[in-house]
Structure 1
Amino acid sequence: MSTSVIASAVGGPSLSQERRLVTAIPGPASEALLARKAEAVAAGVGHTVPIQAVAAGGGVVVDVDGNSLIDLGSGIAVTTVGNAHPAVVAAVQAQVAQFTHTCFMISPYESYVAVAEALNRLAPGDHAKKSALFNSGAEAVENAVKIARKATGRQAVVAFDHAYHGRTNLTMALTAKSMPYKSGFGPFASEVYRAPMSYPFRDGLSGADAAATAILLMEKQIGADNLAAVIIEPIQGEGGFIVPADGFLPALAEWCRAHGVVFIADEVQTGFTRTGAMFASELFGIVPDLITTAKGIAGGLPLAAVTGRADLMDAAHLGGLGGTYGGNPVACAAALAAIEVFETEDLSSRARALGEILFARLHSIQAADPRVGDVRGRGAMVAAEFIDPTTGAPDAALAGAVAKAAIAEGVIVLTCGTYGNVIRFLPPLSIPDALLEEGLDVVAAALAAA
């Protein structure tokens, strides 16, 4: 494989920022790896794009056959700063040369504390905050629930329709969608309840009315005195990039405050400038009691966190929080570098600029094609929902066909949604504008041909 090197300010390997198809997707070398995968890897571990990736940076992923694909997925919102951003690479290399692990609970190190300090500073609200670091978004969610239950002495937790919070036992209970996340894996954790989400495209409710419906259910079917926490994604991710109606989240947060219920914002996918703000909570004017983060936090390395009110975070007894790898020093070094990039390069503004391109093009497509029922999102977290234009019913087959055709033409896109009828756009913020436009051209052509 050869790649042309260009001078680039977008971060990551200096790869030619182009869509290039040398072979069909997959090419022969990628096919060989997929054959090995079928023999060696559990069948339950799937893949979306049938390639063997060997390099990535800017807005492209390059495979072993020399194909260069436009990346509109960012590893599911992980490589927000760009893949292999030079600052992240340098920080990781320096840390690996010093030490890779001591376990923070055994021999602490400064970078864990520095990440916690940065998160406490960045999270919404001017109250005293503390943080604890973990490995994955699901682990952060589990620990947020633990903290809420310990702090309140209550057990019940409310999640919402279309929610996705992870694949562990507790987080599967919180997640709404059965296939592929929950089916056959029960029984699940108890004392988890579900409330209706504000879904403006489908329910037609105002934020106030949708919140009133959810609050009535919580009061009558659970009881505020039994409720430890309400957990919600400010913009739902796997559920379909559902943006709640204005006023929905503030009403929920206000009700939680009035009843001593911990309000948890799951910002695993929405955090770290993805939506055009450091955290999506800021866009809705809410200050959560606890925030869970992961994905974009460390430029591609596994790290997660719970950040929140100091009194809540201190509720757990000594030794009650932690884990062998939580806050690994290499991941912490990457996070500190990524956070500096988020701030110094003003990636919130960059996300908003990419969002303008996404919305302009997708609204244009929607105006010409009634199969695009809704275009929604914030910043560089945007989705199109596909429907039967006659009935309004979700059209998962169309979404799947468009995504498959786009991938075959060298554009990585991801589907999502409870009904499987949504294509989500999560480009790395390092993608050049022209490359994003070309990727959207390919998606538009795939839709027209479907």
Structure 2
Amino acid sequence: MSDITYRLPQEIRLNGAVPGPRSEELAARRTANVPGGVASTLPVYAADADGGVIVDVDGNSFADLGSGIAVTSVGASAPKVVAAVQEAATHFTHTCFMVTPYEGYVAVAEKLNELTPGDFDKRSVLFNSGAEAVENAVKIARAATGRNAVVVFDHAYHGRTNLTMALTAKAAPYKQGFGPFAPEVYRAPMSYPYRDGELGGKEAANRVIEMIEKQIGADYVAAILIEPIQGEGGFIVPAEGFLPELVTWAREKGIVFIADEVQAGFCRTGSWFASDHEGIEPDLMTTAKGIAGGMPLSAVTGRAELFDKVQPGGLGGTYGGNPVACAAALATIETMEEWDLSARARHIEETAREKLGSLVEELDVVGEIRGRGAMFAVEFVSDSDSKTPHPTAAKQIAAACAERGVLILTCGTYGNVVRLLPPLTISDDLLNQALDIFIEEIRAVAA
């Protein structure tokens, strides 16, 4: 990290009441023009961001432990990304790859084929958002297998489009009132060690396999779709052995195994991808968020023979693989390699565990501390014996942290999890200060 030079001071700085007058003015304009269905975590409006800070329009500087939901892993204005975007936009902002292709798209595909797990012939196709990537992964699996059913999991989050709402587990706010949803989606129990008792990974996988064989029929299943570490569902890390057991069984049954790495991918968990931690090789992988340093880009990468089953014109989209976003992605990956941000994510995890680890034994409200790398979370409960979810605690802590200049996000099926997703470029001093404030607010709620 010593070779990172920050453009903005890496500090928490509050000039007065939050939100300030300029943010309140913008909030009034927003109310008059933007529907209430679009919600925001902080009541302030961003004017600048760099490294681990977001500066609002009133000059307040917040420690960013959200990264725009795991997007700005290299920071929101990483120099190489900014330069690449400027250079690309100088030449052309769009031609549509399906009309007049360009090298940037091909170069991103080459890099994804190289970085993703699996020593087999791969292809990559580019889109705009994580939900779009997931939809297309399902399309590819169905085309390749000639089957219809898709198996997803409790606590899963895969997007807000019609199909991905069906794939997503949590009703409110993501699905409520928006049905009917796409058919042939079946939900299986997730491995959730904190709430599974003594159920090991292989046992949890066999529970899923039995459910599929008895309730769906393996020969009817096109794909198993899973987040190797669940994101919105609560940063749930499945028990060791769960993922490999499912992959092995899926291969035996001709089922396409899809890893949704939209939130966990690109160094976030201390490796290039969360799938790396247990050595699984997904048939297809979806990526987005951290792929392009804040520019909209997503991808499906996987076995060439699966893509070969899709007819020409069956995949694509007007903006998919936008040339400016592709330039940003190449610069983002180069920055991750140069600064070894996987190692940085592991360092962030070590720091968080050291600071937060004792709270589980000390405070009854802290149920579990879990995660990998800079994808870290605290689950709050009413008491450690019943493990009753305590969403009020999570909301109170997040709100109190925001008032003190620390942006944190909640998540979880029960709304009782606080997730920590700092930019991987956050300085140690700022990270420690933000975590200290977080801990103080946990103690205040516990008291």
The equivalent of 1:35 in structure 2 is 28
Question: Do the aligned residues in 2 keep the contact of 1:10 with 1:431 (CA within 8 Å)?
Answer: no
The equivalent of 1:341 in structure 2 is 335
Question: Do the aligned residues in 2 keep the contact of 1:173 with 1:188 (CA within 8 Å)?
Answer: yes
Post-superposition CA distance 1:198-253 (Å, at most 9, x none): 00000121001111111100111110100000000000000000000000000000
Question: Do the aligned residues in 2 keep the contact of 1:10 with 1:82 (CA within 8 Å)?
Answer: no
Post-superposition CA distance 1:54-110 (Å, at most 9, x none): 000111000011110000000000000111100000000000000000000000000
Post-superposition CA distance 1:372-399 (Å, at most 9, x none): 1000000110000000115320000000
Would you say how many aligned residue pairs link Structure 1 and Structure 2? 443
Higher alpha-carbon deviation: 364-373 or 177-186: 364-373
CA separation in 2, counterparts of 1:330 and 1:171? 26
Post-superposition CA distance 1:348-373 (Å, at most 9, x none): 10110111011111113333212110
- With normalisation by structure 2, the TM-score equals 0.98
Within the candidate set 201, 206, 213, 1:207 is matched to 201
SS of 1:269's partner is coil
Unaligned runs of 5+ in 1: 1-6
Q: Aligned runs of 1:50-449 on 2, under 5 Å?
A: 50-204=43-197, 205-389=199-383, 391-449=386-444
SS of 2:54's partner is strand
Question: Do the aligned residues in 2 keep the contact of 1:23 with 1:65 (CA within 8 Å)?
Answer: no
CA separation in 1, counterparts of 2:362 and 2:317? 52
Superposition RMSD on alpha carbons, in Å?
1.1
SS of 1:82's partner is coil
SS of 1:242's partner is coil
Q: Aligned runs of 1:18-29 on 2, under 5 Å?
A: 18-29=11-22
Letter in 1 for 2:102: Y
Letter in 2 for 1:61: I
Question: Do the aligned residues in 2 keep the contact of 1:230 with 1:264 (CA within 8 Å)?
Answer: yes
The equivalent of 1:3 in structure 2 is none
CA separation in 2, counterparts of 1:123 and 1:363? 32
C-alpha deviation, 1:436, in angstroms: 0.7
Letter in 2 for 1:351: A
Letter in 1 for 2:389: P
CA separation in 1, counterparts of 2:30 and 2:278? 43
SS of 2:222's partner is strand
CA separation in 2, counterparts of 1:8 and 1:143? 41
C-alpha deviation, 1:277, in angstroms: 0.4
CA separation in 1, counterparts of 2:319 and 2:292? 15
Q: Are residue 47 (structure 1) and residue 40 (structure 2) matched?
A: yes
Post-superposition CA distance 1:135-171 (Å, at most 9, x none): 0000000000000000000000000000000000000
Provide runs of 4+ in structure 1 moved above 3 Å: 7-11
SS of 2:225's partner is strand
CA separation in 1, counterparts of 2:38 and 2:31? 10
C-alpha deviation, 1:25, in angstroms: 1.5
CA separation in 1, counterparts of 2:360 and 2:14? 28
SS of 2:357's partner is helix
Question: Do the aligned residues in 2 keep the contact of 1:164 with 1:176 (CA within 8 Å)?
Answer: yes
Letter in 1 for 2:25: A
Higher alpha-carbon deviation: 145-154 or 18-27: 18-27
Post-superposition CA distance 1:94-132 (Å, at most 9, x none): 000000000000000000000000000001010000000
- With normalisation by structure 1, the TM-score equals 0.97
CA separation in 2, counterparts of 1:63 and 1:8? 27
Question: Do the aligned residues in 2 keep the contact of 1:8 with 1:14 (CA within 8 Å)?
Answer: no
Higher alpha-carbon deviation: 265-274 or 31-40: 31-40
SS of 2:302's partner is strand
CA separation in 1, counterparts of 2:265 and 2:123? 17
CA separation in 2, counterparts of 1:234 and 1:127? 20
CA separation in 2, counterparts of 1:412 and 1:237? 17
C-alpha deviation, 1:28, in angstroms: 1.1
C-alpha deviation, 1:9, in angstroms: 4.5
Post-superposition CA distance 1:317-366 (Å, at most 9, x none): 00000000000000000000001111122111011011101111111333
Higher alpha-carbon deviation: 386-395 or 188-197: 386-395
Letter in 1 for 2:351: I
C-alpha deviation, 1:21, in angstroms: 0.6
Letter in 2 for 1:179: A
